[in-house]
Chains A and B, each alone.
Chain A
Amino acid sequence: MPNRTRPIEKVAKATAKCSTEAAAYGKCVLADYNSVHKDMCVKEFMRLKDCFLAASKKG
């Protein structure tokens, strides 16, 4: 199937555009990775997700 982009490739492309947000989220999780709990970095994640959603709409 030529020229058919798989959904995961779109996700990868959109995520690549949000490297600043991703780095902030990663840093937040790693800051205390021995006691990670649910929604520990929800603020950073929502920022990453917003950026991701905006990027996937554009792409």
Chain B
Amino acid sequence: MISLHTFRGTFSRRCVAATSGVRTYASQTPGNPMIEIFNRKTKHLQKDRAARNVEESRKTDYLKDEVALRLCERLLDIKRDFPNVLDLGANSCNIARALTTPNLDIAAPEGTATPALAERIAKLTCVDTSHALLHRDDELPFNKEINIHRDVIPDLETLPYQPNTFDAVLSSLSMHWINDLPALLEQVNTILKPDSPFIAAMFGGDTLFELRGSLQLADLERRGGVTPHVSPLVDVRDVGNLLNRAGFKMLTVDVEDIVVEFPDSFALMQDLQAMGESNAIMHREAGPLSRDVLLANEAIYRAMYMEDDAPGIPATFRMIYMIGWKDGGNQPQPLQRGSGELNLKDILGGGDFQKP
């Protein structure tokens, strides 16, 4: 009997060992498995290279400057001082430039001067991965009008800041290159002080749909297949969910299209390159586009999207603006369900279908 028991014991133990061995083999790595969509190293090189051509880089800042201005207009609605602000993915500190712009408030009565937003900000930390781009405009006069601090970090997806550090986090046209957006938003929520806003703008949805479509057709007709040339982008409908999941409250999401006209598709691609926004998808084809595809693309782009008699071709940039607040303080909370005492129908009227 005793020997049998021992035998059983070793047998079952062996079984456990075998199953656990199988389990380790088949199990996932701990934590969130992450799919890498964008090649961070490529993106870093592109940004660096673009910024080193200072003249071209400044000339193609029109989009980033405009969006930074529109983003900062949203900050005007929050009537408080921000001692410590982070600009996440600052590019060439376009937000700092917008913050130092006086008379930003278009709602102010005409003739009255409104001070620049920078007066309400004690310290602005600009963070990005590219040293060349971040420090491109070190010498420009706007640097003296705001207490600006530049941080070059190796990776935008891991933020080196303590929890509850910032009174506001801003981000303009950088988050479309982030691989793990949910994780980044969670980090942003953590580094914010309670009851502080996160305001961001990013390219989304239909951005560059013209180029995406015409390049696909050109690829198909010339080479018989497609390869990704334009990044996959976040859809407007997903942004609310993303912010919610990261723990943000009182969300506002809105969309704005900016359509830029270019003389031809080559000029569009050159500008994208000078902005440091060229293709950085992980599984893209190595090397530049073939000349045949470029030629075909130009013809198809014009045939598909150019209006009759228009001087150039349109390129749509869809901006998604988002505002989320970190929970805390005496923030307004939604009331309990069913606690309403007034019937909305009494106030707004209507509610019955009128028979024609």
Residues of chain A having any CB pair with chain B under 8 Å: 6, 8-9, 11-12, 15-16, 21-23, 25-27, 29-30, 33, 36-41, 45, 48-49, 52
Please give, as numbers and ranges, the residues of chain A lying within 8 Å of B259 by CB-CB distance: none
Binary contact track B293-314/A, C-beta < 8 Å → 1, others 0: 0111011101110000000000
Top 3 nearest A-B pairs (CB, nearest first) are A26-B303, A38-B224, A22-B299
Q: Please, what's the 1-or-0 string for B231-273, where 1 marks a CB less than 8 Å from any CB in chain A?
A: 0000000000000000000000000000000011011011000
A30 and B266 in contact, given A36-B217, A36-B221 (Cβ under 8 angstroms): no
| A26 B302 Cβ-Cβ under 8 A | yes
Is B41 located at the chain interface by the 8 A CB criterion?
no
Whether the pair A12, B303 counts as a contact (CB closer than 8 A) is no
The answer to whether B267 and A12 touch across the interface, beta carbons within 8 angstroms, is: yes
Are A26 and B300 touching (Cβ within 8 A)?
yes
Please tell me if the beta carbons of A29 and B221 are within 8 angstroms of each other in the complex: yes
- Is B292 in contact with A49, judged by CB distance below 8 angstroms? yes
User: Residues of B contacting A38 with CB < 8 Å?
Assistant: 220-224
Across-interface contacts of A25 in B (CB, < 8 A): 296, 299-300, 303
Partner of B298, one of A9, A22, A40: A22
Q: Is B291 an interface residue (CB 8 A)?
A: yes
Inter-chain contacts of B300 with A (CB < 8 A): 25-26, 29-30
Q: Are A23 and B224 closer than 8 Å at their CB atoms? A: no
With beta carbons under 8 angstroms apart, the residue of A8, A15, A27 that contacts B269 is A8
Distance to closest chain B CB from A40 (angstroms): 5
Tell me the minimal C-beta distance from B199 to chain A in angstroms: 36
Q: Known interface pairs A29-B303, A38-B223. Does A15 touch B298 (Cβ–Cβ under 8 Å)?
A: yes
In the bound complex, do residue B266 and residue A40 qualify as a contact, i.e. CB atoms below 8 Å apart? no
By the criterion CB–CB under 8 Å, are B221 and A41 in contact?
yes
Per-position binary interface string of chain B over residues 200-227, scored 1 when its CB falls under 8 Å from any chain A CB and 0 otherwise: 0000000000000000011011111000
| A23 to B304 alpha-carbon distance, docked (Å) | 10
A-B contact pairs, 25 of them (CB 8 A): A6-B270, A8-B266, A12-B263, A15-B266, A21-B299, A22-B298, A22-B299, A22-B303, A23-B299, A25-B300, A29-B299, A33-B217, A36-B220, A37-B220, A37-B221, A38-B222, A38-B224, A45-B221, A45-B222, A45-B292, A45-B295, A48-B295, A48-B296, A48-B299, A49-B295
> Which residues of B sit under 8 angstroms from A21, Cβ to Cβ?
299
Residues from chain A with a CB closer than 8 A to the CB of B296 are: 25, 29, 45, 48
In the complex, the answer to whether B266 meets A9 with C-beta atoms within 8 Å is yes
A9 to B304, CA, bound (A): 22
The answer to whether B295 touches A52 (Cβ under 8 A) is: yes
Cβ B221 vs Cβ A39 within 8 A: yes
Report the minimal beta-carbon distance from B240 to chain A, rounded to whole angstroms: 33
Complex formed: what's the CA distance from A33 to B301 in Å? 13
* Chain A residues in 8 Å Cβ range of B294: 11
Nearest residue (CB) in A for B223 is: A38
**Cα–Cα distance between A45 and B300 once the two chains are bound (Å):** 11
**Minimum CB distance partner of B263 in chain A:** A12
User: In the complex, what distance in Å separates the CA atom of A33 from the CA atom of B263?
Assistant: 24
Cα distance, A22 to B263, chains bound together (Å): 15
Q: How far is the CB of A44 from chain B (nearest CB, A)?
A: 9
**Within 8 Å CB of A29, what residues of B?**
217-218, 221, 296, 299-300, 303
- Separation of A17 and B217 alpha carbons in the complex (Å): 22
A23 touches B303 (CB 8 A): yes
Task: Specify which chain A residues have a CB less than 8 angstroms from the CB of B295 in the assembled complex.
Answer: 11, 15, 45, 48-49, 52
Contacts of B218 in A (CB 8 A): 29
CA distance A37 to B223 in the complex (A): 9
Contact B221 A40 (CB under 8 A): yes
Are A26's CB and B266's CB within 8 A?
Answer: no
Residue of B nearest to A1 (CB): B53
Write the chain A residue with the least CB distance to B216. Answer: A36
